[in-house]
Amino acid sequence: MIVDLPNTTTSAISKTLVKIREEGGAVALGRVLTLIISTKPGNEEEAIEAANDASREHPMRVIVVSRGDVGSSDSRVDAQIRVGGDAGASEVIVVRATGDAALDEESLVMGLLLPDAPVVAWWPGEAPDRVSESAIGRIAQRRITDAAASDDPLAALDRLAGAYRPGDTDFAWTRLTLWRAQLAAVLDQPPYVPVTAIEVHGASDSPSTVLLAAWLQLQLGVEVELVMGEASRGSTGIVGVHLTRSNGQIRLDRTAVNIATLVQPDQPTHDISLPRRNLRDCLAEELRRLDPDDLYGEVIRRGVPALSHPVA
């Protein structure tokens, strides 16, 4: 069910939610958190679709704040409420604000938060320079950004490194889960020979490549050669990781969009499923933990600045 509320207020939205629950039985009881999505007009639906899919694992209230032209003389708030089959296992409130009404995001959402439930904020596109100090970031326990969605992903990563606060995370890090798990599994197998050299290859606009290199350098204590600018075989991102040891080289290379080839000394070559993770998978993973990701904090604050300049 979809209910449109043109030229409305936060109070009217809240009252409509109560009316929908009373008349239709759609209740917010059992919602585990409030997810606030801050985006621009026209970019709401992809984020809502990902949130709806993730809500089957994490039932929640989704508040989408879409701010139009702040300088517009037409100051108004339009809203839409989606429940039932149009909202997965969540209830979705889309708030579109223009003019003076769009100046204060916090006032647009405060009256719609679930009581006594954690708040997670997500910026699917460009995020504020310091998300923890933004209007929505101040009221959220977790703050999710996506450097890859920025106009300049690597510059966005540098800003995240300088502005990091516990509770911040980025999908460029979440997309590394499968890569990190595979590399850790390989290094956990005998023979336990120290790594002496590391190369990480990736596309020139891939923040995930930079974070993977920073993680490896921190964990293994070996300077990483970061090679960026390569074609990534149909998907912008990581191309491969090469770990050199005295007994030979371990190579994990993405040979197709969803396939990587693992080559190890004295072992058969393996093809491994290593797809680029979609928004739904990344969001669902981040919502599984509401405490700060300390490892991401170490990588973004210490690991990224310690990297040498990439080789183009």
Per-residue pLDDT of the chain (312 residues; tens, 9 = 90+): 889 999 999 999 999 988 887 776 555 456 789 999 999 998 999 999 999 999 988 889 999 999 887 767 788 999 999 987 766 767 899 999 998 888 888 999 999 999 889 999 999 999 999 999 999 999 999 999 999 999 999 999 999 999 999 999 999 999 999 999 999 999 999 888 999 999 999 998 899 999 999 999 999 999 999 998 865 444 568 999 999 999 999 999 998 888 999 999 999 999 999 988 999 999 999 999 899 999 999 999 999 999 987 655
What is the four-CA torsion angle of 210, 269, 281, 291, rounded to 10 degrees?
-60
Q: What is the pLDDT of residue 234?
A: 43
Q: What is the pLDDT of residue 100?
A: 87
Kindly give, in sequence order, each residue whose CB lies less than 8 Å from that of residue 279, ignoring residues fewer than 6 positions away: 46, 47, 50, 124, 171
Dihedral-angle region of residue 192 (phi above 0 means left; psi in -120 to 50 means alpha; beta otherwise): beta
Per-residue model confidence as pLDDT tens digits over 60-90: 999 999 988 776 778 899 999 998 776 676 7
Per-residue model confidence as pLDDT tens digits over 159-174: 999 999 999 999 999 9
Model pTM score? 0.92
* Residue pair 180/158 in contact by the 8 Å Cβ criterion: no
Q: Dig out the tokens for 185 from the structure.
A: 């599994």
* Residue pair 144/169 in contact by the 8 Å Cβ criterion: yes
